Amino acid sequence: GAGVSQSPSNKVTEKGKDVELRCDPISGHTALYWYRQSLGQGLEFLIYFQGNSAPDKSGLPSDRFSAERTGGSVSTLTIQRTQQEDSAVYLCASSRYGQGSNQPQHFGDGTRLSIL
Amino acid sequence: AQTVTQSQPEMSVQEAETVTLSCTYDTSESDYYLFWYKQPPSRQMILVIRQEAYKQQNATENRFSVNFQKAAKSFSLKISDSQLGDAAMYFCAKPPYQLIWGAGTKLIIKP
């Protein structure tokens, strides 16, 4: 079946603009995760969804960041009033089950966000 | 707090030789999983191998194997017969759900 799909692949925008990043997880996966990866760095956890609810959003760096998930499927990460430090690759992952399981996460190709 | 540490920012190996990437972790759990992920320049994070802590036997996937030392909290990845396509960033990661990640090791394959 299809893997995790993210769009757009690349996004260049001006400082101060809002951006929306989309993630379409593997069908049937109940858990969805957003991570941020700065150049040459490891992954920084942002938010975890179980179904449509987000039991852990502790990694969101500021109130400019928000995310939602609808229908237990597609998720959107929104960054308002973007800043240059928001430039990074945003990775989405999904797994069959979430909290309490040890299921591996399957990743999309990421969105490279560049703030001018 | 749980931590995962990769102490080798970069490793290089001659094609066809063997290389071992190190990972240590800290946890109070007795039963858990550990993962190695590979991230080539294409950006996609790919699961390489996983190990269940309660299993004595080290996991193996073709040319990839782990040396899991539970008491020492060590989880190293051995790549045998290295190929050019193995060049990537390698990350060690541990659940819980949000995965705790090491900083990564960049693996360079010399032809």
Per-residue pLDDT at A99: 65
Q: Which residue of B has its CA nearest to A34?
A: B98
Residue B102 one-letter amino acid: G
Task: Report how far apart the first and last C-alpha atoms of chain A are (Å, whole number).
Answer: 37
Beta bridge partners of B23: none
Q: Which residue of B has its CA nearest to A44?
A: B101
Please state, in angstroms and as integers, the Cα–Cα distance from residue A45 to each residue in A2, A57, B68, B72, B91, following that order.
24, 9, 25, 26, 14
Beta bridge partners of B20: B78
Picking from B45, B52, B97, the nearest residue to A107 by CB comes out as: B45
For residue A90, pLDDT over 70 is answered with: yes
Q: Please write the tens of the pLDDT for every residue from A36-76.
A: 998 877 888 899 999 999 988 989 999 999 999 998 899 99
Is A102 at the interface with chain B, CB within 8 A?
Answer: yes
Q: Please write the tens of the pLDDT for every residue from B16-75.
A: 999 999 999 998 888 888 999 999 987 888 999 999 888 878 999 999 999 999 999 999
The answer to whether the beta carbons of residues B23 and B91 sit under 8 Å apart is: no
Per-residue pLDDT at B100: 80
- Say if residue A25 is preceded by a cis peptide, omega within 30 of 0: no
Picking from B42, B95, B104, the nearest residue to A102 by CB comes out as: B95
> What residues of chain A, 50 to 89, have a C-beta less than 8 Å from chain B?
56, 59, 89
CB A68: neighbour CB atoms within 10 A? 13
Picking from B50, B91, B98, the nearest residue to A45 by CB comes out as: B98
Task: Report how far apart the first and last C-alpha atoms of chain B are (Å, whole number).
Answer: 41
CB A64: neighbour CB atoms within 10 A? 14
CB pairs under 8 A between A and B: 55
Non-local (6+) Cβ contacts of B62 within 8 A are none
